[in-house]
Structure 1
Amino acid sequence: MQSPIDLIDERVQRTSKLGRLDTHYKPANATLINRGYDMTLTWIGGAGHIHINGTKYQLNQAHWHTPTEHGINGQRFNLELHLVHQSTNDKFAVVGVLYKLGHNDSFIAKIEPYLQALASTKGVNKSVGIIDPRVIKIGNSTEYYRYMGSLTTPACDEGVIWTIVRKVKTVSREQVRIIREALDDEANGNARPIQPLNNRWVKLYIPHDHKTN
């Protein structure tokens, strides 16, 4: 079963049983590299983890796709951040955050000069100092979608636990431009097409204290 997919509220199973996002992130040294098909931020020495279904997944790296890969109710947005986590038995869990045009994103702002510097330099790891993933401000009470899928870059390995934050954050037009101009295919971006849902279940976590409509 492949990713990304379109997350359609009419077809999801709403539940509070998934539990709040159990993230334990912390600041850590990081490097940035322009891989041509994306800009990837890799944490060194441990930036914390997320617990899902009793398993600890270590936060390894973050990268961006433009436009978004996942859709919500048929709509795709301007930018998608993937936080890639890995367990000790090499299973992956990815947290996705979607962005629409608006105010600056504070996380991208932290590394914006490095993104600009590496726009035309591919394959070189650049130290960016200590980066705190908590700046992303996902929040443990956030509503989120959960489904099983795949990585969205080759070889698109399956068995990945996907968590997509329901609330769409904002990013400036200039920040999207900086990320996009570094790509090999700047005109078309680096988003994989929507994949068939087939018979998969998609769950939407809504805390007990949130309205369900």
Structure 2
Amino acid sequence: MRPLSNLLILVTILLLSTKWTIAEEVADEHPFDYVEGSKKGPPFWGELNKDWAACKIGKMQSPIDLSSDRVRVVPESGILKRNYKPQNATLRNRGHDIQIKWVADAGSIVIDGIDFFLHQAHWHSPAEHTINGTKYDAELHMVHESAMINGKIQIVVIGVLYQFGPPDPLLEKLSKHIQSMVNTEAEMPMGVINPSEFPYRGNKYYRYTGSLTVPPCTEGVIWIMNQEIGHVSKEQVALLRDAVHDYATMNNRPLQLHNGRFVDFYDPK
């Protein structure tokens, strides 16, 4: 009976091992990634899903280089009216980035007389946009949406570029929570987070029309890129990279062509 018993044990181990391997592979599946040479990387996003065609054929894609030869100075002040307010939020590891999402009305920003309501914010590292070819260490995106206008929702993204320096105060506050969700697509309530704690300062900014920088790469997005550069520590950027999955440790989409687009620069002075 012993050989039969040993055979049953071996078969059981093999079955459990196979089941665990399959479960691991399913859990590790992701619709797109940032890995160089991967068939799911940025050059192939537009081929992975018919709804992502804009990633390949779009003519107003983001990010771009905010180069001086494409910039037009706008004489009007262009001061942005922000009406943010503290609201309950959750922190989520989406696998490809770390996101803060407000669960109710966190206020809005007014652009061209339209209210764009803040929904979520997330980070990319290294930064996606550049200024005259200068690369930065991380980038914050604050994503806003309008109410339905002519059957469509319009999107505004406020972007802040970071360079290495002192720790960012908000990321410092979130660090222990981010650490707790390393490599786990978890979500946790954070209580009240005030959008004004994000490092968006000043009224000098670049503005252009582009797209989302992740699939489906939807175009028509208004980008507001703050000219003032924020600061973030090397340890904070390392944590943002460690927390996400391996396929997104460097989750910056490559620069896209301008395709004739100009960038407006607003300076209240």
The two structures have a TM-score, normalised by structure 1, of 0.92
Of 39, 63, 68 in structure 1, the residue corresponding to residue 127 of structure 2 is 68
Distance in 2, matches of 1:157 and 1:96, equals 17
Report the AA paired with residue 70 of structure 2. Answer: R
Distance in 1, matches of 2:67 and 2:165, equals 24
Of 256, 260, 264 in structure 2, the residue corresponding to residue 199 of structure 1 is 260
Report how far residue 184 of structure 1 moved: 2.1
Aligned to 1:179: 240
Report how far residue 120 of structure 1 moved: 2.3
Aligned to 1:128: 190
Aligned to 2:155: 92
Report the AA paired with residue 84 of structure 1. Answer: V
String of CA shifts for 1:106-149, please: whole Å, max 9, x gaps.
Answer: 12122111111111211x2211111111012423x421000000
Q: Does 1:158 align with 2:214?
A: no
Q: Which has the higher contact order (CA 8 A, sep 6+)?
A: 1
Report how far residue 84 of structure 1 moved: 0.2
Distance in 1, matches of 2:174 and 2:199, equals 16
Where structure 1 has 5 or more consecutive residues not aligned to the other structure, the ranges are: 209-213
**Aligned-CA RMSD value:** 1.4
Q: Does 1:30 align with 2:30?
A: no
> Any idea what SS the aligned residue of 2:172 has?
helix
Aligned to 1:144: 205
- Structure 2 CA distance for partners of 1:149 and 1:18, relative to 1, 3 Å: farther
Report how far residue 32 of structure 1 moved: 1.0
My pick for the range that moved more, 91-100 or 182-191, is: 182-191
Q: Is the 8 A contact 1:180 1:186 kept in 2?
A: no
> Any idea what SS the aligned residue of 1:178 has?
helix
> Any idea what SS the aligned residue of 2:215 has?
coil
Greater helix content: 2
- Structure 2 CA distance for partners of 1:137 and 1:37, relative to 1, 3 Å: closer
Report the AA paired with residue 192 of structure 1. Answer: R
Q: Is the 8 A contact 1:183 1:190 kept in 2?
A: no
- Structure 2 CA distance for partners of 1:103 and 1:186, relative to 1, 3 Å: farther
The two structures have a TM-score, normalised by structure 2, of 0.74
String of CA shifts for 1:51-72, please: whole Å, max 9, x gaps.
Answer: 1111110000000000000001
Report the AA paired with residue 129 of structure 1. Answer: G
Report how far residue 16 of structure 1 moved: 3.5
Aligned to 1:2: 61
> Any idea what SS the aligned residue of 1:91 has?
strand
Of 168, 181, 188 in structure 2, the residue corresponding to residue 105 of structure 1 is 168
Where structure 2 has 5 or more consecutive residues not aligned to the other structure, the ranges are: 1-59
Report how far residue 79 of structure 1 moved: 0.5
Identity %: 45
Report how far residue 153 of structure 1 moved: 0.8
Report how far residue 187 of structure 1 moved: 7.6
Distance in 2, matches of 1:201 and 1:22, equals 23
Distance in 2, matches of 1:205 and 1:187, equals 33
String of CA shifts for 1:56-104, please: whole Å, max 9, x gaps.
Answer: 1000000000000000110111100000000112210000000000001
Of 81, 95, 118 in structure 2, the residue corresponding to residue 59 of structure 1 is 118
Aligned to 2:24: none
- Structure 2 CA distance for partners of 1:79 and 1:130, relative to 1, 3 Å: same
Distance in 1, matches of 2:235 and 2:120, equals 23
How many residues were matched structurally? Answer: 206
Report how far residue 161 of structure 1 moved: 0.3
Distance in 2, matches of 1:188 and 1:41, equals 18
Highest CA radius of gyration, 1 or 2?
2
> Any idea what SS the aligned residue of 2:238 has?
helix
